[in-house]
Chains A and B, each alone.
Chain A
Amino acid sequence: GENVEQHPSTLSVQEGDSAVIKCTYSDSASNYFPWYKQELGKRPQLIIDIRSNVGEKKDQRIAVTLNKTAKHFSLHITETQPEDSAVYFCAAIMRGQNFVFGPGTRLSVLP
């Protein structure tokens, strides 16, 4: 089955700096890679996603890159703000199957 690894487990950055979170997956059949942001006690919120036919996707301060050959994808947050502080989960999925989540990254943006 699919296995998703995520690094780092914790990340602290100064406000205004960039943050990068990396994930690797094991199943080359996976073709959809969403990123979720979860604040304490709340549901995960989809912030950006990418499909396997695309190498990069950007939405304002957030971008995701995908390297299918290496089977890894990354989340990039630029100009970080204190409200970006949360736990971020990557996930990988094959069409019609359930998500396999990474272990999460706790991001702290220091003012």
Chain B
Amino acid sequence: GAVVSQHPSWVICKSGTSVKIECRSLDFQATTMFWYRQFPKQSLMLMATSNEGSKATYEQGVEKDKFLINHASLTLSTLTVTSAHPEDSSFYICSAREVAAAYGYTFGSGTRLTVV
């Protein structure tokens, strides 16, 4: 089946620094990738939708200058949390949709970010 690799699985960083998270589809092409954030004991909240070769679409309340998304190829999307603060600590998960599938979504393994 389709596999999405997400790295790193966990990261601890200092306040004010930036962190990059990678989401890579290993055996399929993904025209669209989604980035979610999940706080403890809460549901997955969509942050942004990235389409290969174009600018990401951000959900209301998500700062595009803080959460930089790049989807430069059909197999790779990156999320960069800039100037991280403790309140950015969360579980970040990507999902990718296959080019040929209307409903073929596959989730990455997630990244637990802790900002100290």
Interface residues of A (CB under 8 A from B): 32, 34, 41-45, 49, 89, 93, 95-96, 98-104, 106
Known: A41-B112, A96-B102. A102 touches B34 (CB 8 A): no
Known: A41-B112, A42-B109, A95-B102. A104 touches B46 (CB 8 A): no
B43 and A98 form a contact (CB under 8 A): no
Number of inter-chain CB pairs below 8 Å: 43
Known: A93-B103, A98-B34. A103 touches B110 (CB 8 A): no
A-B CB contact pairs (8 Å), 13 listed? A32-B102, A32-B103, A34-B103, A41-B110, A43-B107, A43-B108, A44-B44, A93-B103, A98-B34, A98-B46, A98-B49, A99-B34, A102-B43
A99 and B46 form a contact (CB under 8 A): yes
A99 and B105 form a contact (CB under 8 A): yes
Interface residues on B, range: 10 to 19
* Inter-chain contacts of A43 with B (CB < 8 A): 93, 107-110
CB distance from B75 to the nearest CB of A (A): 18
Known: A41-B112, A43-B109, A44-B107. A89 touches B102 (CB 8 A): no
In the complex, whether B42 has a CB less than 8 A from a CB of chain A is yes
Q: Which residue of A lies closest to B110 (CB)?
A: A43
* Inter-chain contacts of B105 with A (CB < 8 A): 34, 99
Known: A98-B46, A103-B42, A104-B42. 11 other contacts (CB 8 A): A32-B103, A41-B112, A43-B108, A43-B110, A44-B107, A45-B107, A98-B49, A99-B95, A101-B44, A101-B45, A106-B41
